[in-house]
Amino acid sequence: MWLFITAVLLGDILQQKFSESWPDPHLRSKGAIWPQPQYLIIGNESTTVNLDAFTFVSTVGQCEIIDKAIIRYHKRLFGEIRRNELKKIKRQNHNKIIDNQILSNLTITVEEGCTNRFPQFGMDESYKLIVTSNDAVLRANQVWGVLRGMESFAQLFFDRNTKIHKVDIRDYPRFFHRGVLLDTARHYLSVNVIKANIELMAQNKFNTFHWHIVDIESFPYQSEVIPELIKGAYTPNHIYTISQIKDIIDYGRLRGIRVLPEFDTPGHMKSWGIGVKDLLTKCYHSNGSLYQNFENLLDPTNSNTWDVLSALFQESFAVFPGNYVHLGGDEAEYWFTECWTLNPTIRQFMEIYGLKDGPSIQAWYFSKFVPLLHSLKFGKNKKFLVWQEVISGANLTINMTRNDNLIAHIWKNTRDIEYATKLGYYVILSACWYLDLITSTADWKLYYSCDPQDFNGTEAQKHLVIGGEAALWGEWVDESNVIPRLWPRASAVAERLWSSVETKSIEKAWPRLFYILIKMEQMI
């Protein structure tokens, strides 16, 4: 008897734990928007959609970004309607058509007209959307706002896209930088898989694909100016040609997503050295013997190092059109002792320049590297993101002067935002959003509860926080699990970065998140 009671109680506990993680599926919203708009009035009634003749009406004229978005959304909303089902719906809607209570079009206007250029940091993504019984109007200042508004419009449909909510929306993002990091160096991801994730990013109103394209394990970027570097790829089949990269960049452009490349230096560079033999320093044990197969830091004393960096980054500036580039800079301290301070050549270099340790060498490196990048073609107006070690461990306030061209990427602890903003740096956050770290519970709640501006600092410091990124590192992620590992967990980050700071109820978020999950599953 007691065994039975114990089993029942244990079952109740497990059921309670499960229900805490996964609320009742019947509670899911119908036609809800994710991320939650800044201002939303949703009517108690819905309106019927004219599936047979619904049109998107652009007043902009010919405009590739809008025209292709119309094709995508029309296919997404109406492309799968079966002929016999359409006839049935038309019969059901006949009386409403007579009563003029049916929605047949969405009118799109753009105040600044068309642009087919690439999205950039600071672009205007705001929009206004009004849906009534027989009219829908989407207004935006720029095409980027149209893309965000069309996504919201598409999410309002429900009941097999036959109904839509009546709404009045005024919407804009809370933060300018809302990104997802994918790591294609640890495990290669095909172009199609990358595109699939960009599509899902757009559905969640992210605007930045942070492409961690190379690392210790592989160098899949096929440089045309330094072709030897591709020897660091896993195989000749696991590479990204410049043509493929441009295709991905354009795919993102059409969805309002910029591609932020990261070529990590001065550490994590083993794969670089496979093709360019003198690029990395030799490493040593404390007894002076060579430390074999440990090379991961570049050699700042070698003139060829700077030639390689100049050529590669000038090429990348031409390939990636964004005004921001990620320079890496993390975890170089793993190799400071063996590969720099115990290396005889580097020790001589340290004496000449008065450098006392590994962090000071890294500070010297970036103080030379950043001006070099600005001197390159297309490099003059670039801004650079760096992992937080560059401004903390390497103390890159050279001569007590902050480098205004750098943005700190906080990944170790959310409290480190306070330190970086005290120095006056703009920052983005990833510390609480490492999605490669998984649990057996609904960890999306933790991601949802993490706010980039929730730290001890002045209002001026908090204004230096420009956004954040969900990071999916690739050690344990490949094509088989990248999408289910990332989504919908990244959706929680998306809402935190887009919606008002007042939008923070997990209980209210869940029904909408469940709804958007179903929508995303239909996209895959």
What is the domain partition of the chain in residue ranges?
28-171, 177-523
pLDDT at 11: 40
The pLDDT tens digits of the residues spanning 313-360 come to: 999 999 999 999 999 999 999 999 999 999 999 999 999 999 999 999
On the question of pLDDT at 230 being above 70, the answer is: yes
pLDDT at 396: 52
28-37, 245-254, 315-324, range with the lowest pLDDT: 28-37
Can you read off the two tokens belonging to residue 39? 């201002």
The average pLDDT across 60-76 equals 96
On the question of pLDDT at 122 being above 50, the answer is: yes
Distance CA 57, CA 135 (A): 12
On the question of pLDDT at 84 being above 60, the answer is: no
* Percentage of the chain lying above the pLDDT 70 cut: 88
pLDDT at 522: 76
pLDDT at 172: 99
The pLDDT tens digits of the residues spanning 205-220 come to: 999 999 999 999 999 9
The pLDDT tens digits of the residues spanning 290-301 come to: 999 999 999 999
Can you read off the two tokens belonging to residue 242? 């410049």
Tell me what the pLDDT averaged over the chain comes to.
90
Mind telling me the catalytic residues?
Answer: 331
CA distances (Å), origin 363, targets 48, 79, 265, 277, 359:
62, 55, 12, 24, 6
Degrees (nearest 5) of the Cα angle 335, 341, 346?
Answer: 110
165-180 CB burial, b ≥16 within 10 A, e <16: bbbebebbbbbbbbbb
CA distances (Å), origin 122, targets 208, 256, 288:
11, 12, 51
Residue written as tokens 């990944």? 411
On the question of pLDDT at 400 being above 50, the answer is: no
- Give me the count of residues in the chain: 524
28-171 is classed CATH 3.30.379.10: yes
Q: Which fold does the domain 177-523 belong to in CATH?
A: TIM Barrel (3.20.20)
